[in-house]
């Protein structure tokens, strides 16, 4: 036999171990959940292999996860007869962090400092959590494929190094021996172990057994301490809320509770069970393009794969849970899954269920729906573009800020907006801007405020894009108020057009402005929609809005400069003053200033801010 070999942990592992030990001290017991979960995964993997490649893997009907204690040595041992590992796998799985996402996660944690240590609960803390309670961990494992009695022993004190050794091991599978820290020997207590297993691992499919020694009778027995029935196969009425929540934590490794879930046994053309959860918190990588998401896939109770994203549209990527199909073949691969018509069918069914679950939440529990919206609203806003079939259902789930709600918090639904429309109002009005504040203070709103017409205030980056796809709600068209809109004139009373000047005087004034501004603008006209603002700019109805142009240029695309329509408020005191000017040079300066002001309000910046400042100062002194 070869000599013991020494290896160094990858630096990320050291970092992770350090973080974990310092941030999970208040929730130490989860190490047992993690180890049982790994054992259960190993059993699932072997069962899958024995079906997909029976010539290489033998199928045991008898599977187990055994827990035993040794009070003399202060050791706790968790063993399974699952797939096991060969040397290469041991080095990869227990010496490095293979998952690129985890590395990124550590970087994020590193940047944000201590506060976000709780985030660590959002991804599987996994095998390394054994070091929270142990001074030393020994792993003895034999790959199921290996027909000889040889295995690998891995050993480490979690301080930067581990050793690898060849050993004799009679049975396939993995045995993990924890040498408990002196202050953690409570984990040797059978009742303590039972409690933890009941709490976290009751519904994993494999039986978890604990070794019980009867001092009087001098005999030991292996007692099963979990229910060992896949939770999702049970009837809804036989499952408690607590069990649903614990199962969620088991499959997601999330420390938080889910907000809501939906469990369905579906019969019909396709038979399947789905158990779908909405988390309370978004995962740290929800905006990462390579973010792993999707459902756990089972076929006829057999575990097939994690993160089967084929069953969820992208805009519902925050949903966690599982699907167990009776119709898909057991040897299905990701590629085949993608093209499979059953997959498409199940995906539609699951999408409907999720939307229904959200609708129910929105209608019955505003507080929880608010939590949901704050976490996932931005993701859901991708929906109208991605899923045209369910567009109107998704529209119902959206929430907005508006003039009426008078708060940056997005709480207004479209159906409530429609209920509050004033007589004569035909459209749903909205404004897009960089921030809630700039939307809320836009001069475009003056008219709507005066008329008591509500306007949706949109300031998320995705909003402008979403509104391209969201064109109607309950047969009402959406209208951007940054754009020219003839229908607004219907809402203006004739007597509001009280004018101090005659038509010819107005016409002359406009002609002068056109001469001054030439091709700086598309058109000039008078407006009766403004009150405190002398002038604004609008884009024409068939043109890109300012916000859209900004998004394009932020994405590195060149956009031609927007030609605005310049509107002047003849009832404004400043405009009246300007109309009376006899000095053409001065008039020119004032008109340029009004345009610059309007552009500043619309765009939030100017091409040449200094020119604007000089002009204003000059006019102030004058
Ligand atoms: P995760 O379970 O999220 O993959 P872990 O840190 O819990 O991460 O485990 C790392 C890897 O070690 C597993 O993916 C698996 O390949 C391997 N492993 C851990 N425990 C066992 C076990 N009992 N049997 C076989 N492989 C295991
Ligand atoms: Mg794990």
pTM: 0.78
Q: Is the CB of 127 under 6 A from ligand 1?
A: yes
Strand, coil or helix: 150: strand
Q: 43: Cβ below 6 Å to ligand 1?
A: no
The two structure tokens encoding residue 568: 């002047």
97 CA → ligand 1 middle, Å: 11
pLDDT at 21: 74
Q: Which CATH architecture has domain 399-491?
A: 3-Layer(aba) Sandwich (3.40)
Nearest CA to ligand 1 atom 27: 38
Rounded to 5°, angle at Cα 528 from 523 and 530: 95
Position 299 scores a pLDDT of 87
Q: Name the helix (H) or strand (E) containing 548.
A: helix 546-554
Task: Write the Ramachandran bin of 389: left for phi over 0, alpha for psi from -120 to 50, otherwise beta.
Answer: alpha
Q: Which residue, judged by its Cα, is nearest atom 1 of ligand 1?
A: 126
5-224: CATH architecture: 2-Layer Sandwich (3.30)
Q: Assign domain 231-373 to its CATH architecture.
A: 2-Layer Sandwich (3.30)
Q: Does residue 514 sit in helix, strand or coil?
A: helix
Q: Could you tell me the CA-to-CA distances from 462 to 69, 381, 386, 432 in Å, in that order?
A: 55, 7, 13, 10
Q: Is 175 in the pocket of ligand 1 (CB under 6 A)?
A: no
495-621, CATH topology level: 1.20.120
Residues 128/149, Cβ–Cβ less than 8 Å: no
pLDDT of residue 494: 65
Give the pLDDT confidence of 435-460 residue by residue, as tens digits.
Answer: 999 999 999 999 999 999 999 999 99
How many angstroms does the Cα of residue 78 sit away from the middle of ligand 2? 14
pLDDT score, position 542: 86
The percent helix, strand, coil of the chain (3-state, each to 5) is 45, 20, 35
State how far the Cα of 58 lies from the Cα of 47, in Å rounded to an integer. Answer: 9
Q: Which of the ligands is closest to the CA of residue 85?
A: 1
Please name the helix (run of DSSP H) or strand (run of DSSP E) that holds residue 526, with its range, or none: strand 523-526
Query: Under a CB-based contact definition with an 8 Å cutoff, are residues 436 and 457 in contact?
Result: yes
- Smallest CA-to-CA distance from 196 within 69, 348, 44 is with 69
Angle between the 30-52 and 190-201 helix axes, to the nearest 10 degrees? 60
- Report the alpha-carbon distance of residue 522 to residue 540 in Å, rounded: 9
Q: Which ligand approaches the C-alpha of residue 306 most closely?
A: 1
CB of 85 within 6 A of ligand 1: the answer is yes
Closest C-alpha among 361, 363, 440 to residue 400: 440
Cβ(378) – ligand 1 distance below 6 Å = no
Say whether 495-621 and 399-491 share the same fold: no
Pocket flag, ligand 1, residue 66 (CB < 6 Å): no
According to DSSP, residue 311 is labeled G
**What are 213's strand-pairing partners?**
220
Instruction: Please name the residues in contact with 137: beta carbons below 8 A apart, sequence gap of 6 or more.
Output: 130, 131, 155, 156, 157, 158, 176, 177, 178, 179
Cα–Cα distance for residue pair 347/342, rounded to 1 Å: 8
Domain ranges of the chain: 5-224, 231-373, 399-491, 495-621
pLDDT value of position 98:
63
What is the per-residue pLDDT for 470?
Answer: 94
Q: Is 104 exposed, middle or buried (0-12, 13-18, 19+ CB in 10 A)?
A: middle
Parallel, antiparallel, or unpaired for β 428-432 and 455-458? parallel
Q: What is the pLDDT of residue 334?
A: 83
Residues of the chain with pLDDT under 50: 114
**Residue 184, number of CB atoms within 10 A of its CB:** 18
Closest CA to 403 of 434, 444, 461, 362: 444
**Around 191, how many Cα atoms within 13 Å sit in the side-chain half-sphere?**
0
User: With pLDDT > 70 as the criterion, what percentage of the chain qualifies?
Assistant: 93
């Amino acid at each position: 036999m070869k000599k013991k070999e020494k290896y160094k942990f990858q630096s990320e592992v050291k970092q992770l171990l350090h973080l974990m030990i310092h941030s999970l001290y208040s929730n130490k017991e989860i190490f047992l959940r993690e180890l049982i979960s790994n054992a259960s995964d190993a059993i699932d993997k072997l069962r899958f292999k024995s079906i997909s490649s029976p010539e290489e893997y033998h199928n045991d009907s008898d599977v187990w996860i055994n827990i035993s204690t040794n009070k003399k040595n202060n050791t706790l041992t968790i063993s399974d007869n699952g797939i096991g590992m060969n040397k290469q796998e041991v080095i990869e799985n227990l010496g490095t962090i293979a998952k690129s996402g985890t590395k990124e996660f550590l970087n994020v944690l590193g940047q944000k400092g201590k506060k976000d240590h709780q985030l660590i609960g959002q991804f599987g803390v996994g095998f390394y959590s054994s070091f929270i309670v142990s001074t030393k961990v020994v792993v003895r494992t034999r790959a199921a494929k290996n027909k000889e009695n040889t295995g690998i022993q891995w050993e480490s004190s979690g301080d930067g190094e581990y050793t690898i050794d060849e050993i004799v091991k009679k049975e396939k599978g993995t045995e993990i021996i924890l040498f408990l820290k002196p202050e953690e020997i409570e984990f040797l207590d059978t009742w303590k172990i039972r409690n933890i297993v009941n709490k976290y691992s009751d519904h994993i499919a494999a039986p978890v057994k604990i070794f019980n020694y009867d001092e009087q009778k001098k005999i030991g027995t292996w007692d099963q301490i979990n229910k060992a029935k896949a939770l999702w196969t049970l009837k809804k009425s036989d499952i408690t809320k607590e069990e649903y929540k614990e199962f969620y934590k088991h499959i997601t490794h999330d420390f938080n509770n889910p907000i809501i879930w939906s469990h369905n046994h579906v019969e019909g053309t396709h038979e399947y069970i789905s158990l779908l959860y909405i988390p309370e918190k978004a995962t740290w990588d929800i905006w990462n393009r390579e973010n792993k998401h999707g459902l756990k896939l089972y076929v006829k109770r057999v575990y097939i794969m994690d993160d089967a994203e084929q069953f969820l549209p992208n805009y519902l990527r925050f949903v966690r849970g599982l699907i167990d199909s009776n119709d898909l073949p057991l040897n299905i691969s990701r590629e085949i899954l993608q093209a499979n018509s059953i997959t498409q069918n199940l995906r539609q069914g699951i999408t409907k269920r999720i939307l229904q679950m959200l609708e129910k939440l929105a209608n019955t529990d505003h507080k929880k729906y608010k939590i949901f919206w704050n976490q996932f609203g931005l993701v859901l806003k991708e929906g109208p573009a991605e899923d045209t079939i369910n567009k109107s259902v998704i529209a119902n789930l959206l929430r907005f800020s508006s003039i009426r709600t008078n708060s940056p918090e997005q709480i207004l639904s479209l159906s409530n907006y429609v209920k509050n429309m004033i007589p004569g109002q035909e459209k749903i009005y909205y404004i897009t801007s960089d921030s809630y504040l700039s939307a809320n203070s836009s001069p475009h709103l003056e008219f709507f405020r005066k008329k008591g017409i509500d306007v949706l205030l949109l300031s998320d980056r995705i909003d402008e894009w979403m509104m391209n796809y969201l064109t109607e709600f309950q047969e009402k068209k959406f209208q951007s108020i940054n754009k020219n809109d003839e229908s607004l004139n219907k809402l203006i009373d004739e007597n509001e057009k009280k004018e101090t000047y005659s038509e010819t005087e107005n016409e002359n004034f406009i002609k002068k402005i056109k001469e001054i501004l030439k091709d700086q603008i598309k058109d000039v006209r008078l407006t009766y929609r403004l009150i405190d603002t002398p002038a604004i700019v609008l884009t024409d109805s068939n043109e890109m809005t300012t916000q859209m142009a900004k998004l394009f240029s932020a994405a590195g695309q060149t956009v031609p400069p927007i030609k605005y329509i310049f509107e002047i408020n003849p009832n404004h005191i400043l405009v009246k003053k300007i109309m009376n000017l006899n000095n053409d040079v001065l008039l020119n300066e004032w008109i340029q200033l009004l345009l610059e002001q309007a552009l500043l309000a619309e765009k939030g910046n100017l091409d040449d801010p200094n020119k604007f400042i000089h002009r204003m100062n000059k006019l102030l002194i004058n």
